[in-house]
Amino acid sequence: MDGIFTHHNGLSGIQITTREDGTGGARNTIRNCTSTYNSGVGIFDTKFSNGGNSDGIAISTGIDNRIENCLVHHNSDDGIDTWRSVNTYVGYNIAHTNGDGDGDGNGIKAGGIYPGANTVVDHNIAYSNRARGFASNSGDNVKFIHNTSWNNGLYAFVLDSHTKAINNIGVGTIYKSSIATNIIEENNSWQRSGSVAFISTNSNSVDFLRPTINGGFEEIGAM
C-alpha cells in the first residue's frame, strides 16, 4: 500500500486485521500514506467507547508488517497502534495531535496483549498528542530507537517491562511504570546533562525538532 490518503472515516483509517487469534495479516507494507481525522467519537459500545479503537493506522494482528514514512494526525484514538501484531516495523513516520473523545491519545502505541511482541519503532516523531508520544503498552520486547517526542500532553515515553530505549529524545515528563522491570536505556536525552534545544519548533520548517548544532543532542532523536 503506497500513497493512500484516508480521512474522516468512522473508525480507523487503515487497519490490518484478520483472525482474533492474532494470526494472518502478514508481510504488508504501508508506505507514504496519510491518515487523518478518523474518529469513533459518538459511537458508544464496549469495543469503540466514544473514540477508542479509531486509529490512523492499526496493525491489529499478523507478523512482519511495516509502516514507513506515513503521516497520521487528528485521529480519535492513536496515530499508530501495533496492538497484537508480531515483528512490526514502524519507521520514519510523524504522528501528531491524536486523541479525541475517550480515545487514548498516543502518537505511537507499540504493543498490546499476547501475542503482541517485537515491535521496532525507529526514527519517528510524535508531537502534540493528547496523552503520550510513545508507549510500549505492555508489548513484549519493544524497541524505541532514534525517536523524538515533544509537547505531548502527559508523557514523552512510557516504557513498560522488557522495553529497550536507545538514542531517543524526550522533551517532557519521562515516565516508567512502577512495576516495570528489565528496561534497557542507552544514550537517551533524559540520561544526559543539559536540556534539549531545537533549531525550530515550527512544523512547517525543514529544521522542525532538529536539535541545535553543538547542543549536545544532535546525534540522537529522529534527526
- State the average pLDDT for the chain: 93
- Is-contact 1 29, C-beta < 8 A? yes
pLDDT digits 0-9 by tens, 177-201: 666 888 999 999 999 999 999 999 9
Tell me, yes or no, whether 13 lies in a domain: yes
Burial class of residue 70 in the structure, from the number of CB atoms within 10 Å of its CB (0-12 exposed, 13-18 middle, 19+ buried): buried
Which amino acid is residue 12, in one-letter code? S
Identify the DSSP state of 212: P
The DSSP letter of residue 39 is -
Q: Judge whether 101 lies within some domain.
A: yes
Q: What is the mean pLDDT of residues 107-122?
A: 94
**Are 188 and 163 within 8 A, CB to CB?**
no
Residue 216 lies in a domain: no
CATH no. for residue 34?
2.160.20.10
Let me know if residue 205 belongs to a domain.
no
Task: Note the pLDDT tens digit of each residue in 26-64.
Answer: 999 999 999 999 998 988 877 778 978 899 999 999 999
In a domain, 223, yes or no: no
Range(s) of the domain holding residue 56: 5-191
Distance CA 122, CA 115 (A): 21
Q: Are 59 and 67 in contact (CB under 8 A)?
A: yes
137 located within any domain: yes
Tally of domains within the chain: 1
pTM, two decimals, is 0.94
What pLDDT does residue 21 have? Answer: 57
Cell, residue 97: 495531535
Q: If you ran DSSP here, which 8-state letter would residue 20 be given?
A: T
- Strand, coil or helix: 209: coil
Q: Is the confidence at residue 167, as pLDDT, over 90?
A: yes
Give the residue from 190, 191, 162 showing the smallest Cα distance to 177.
Answer: 162
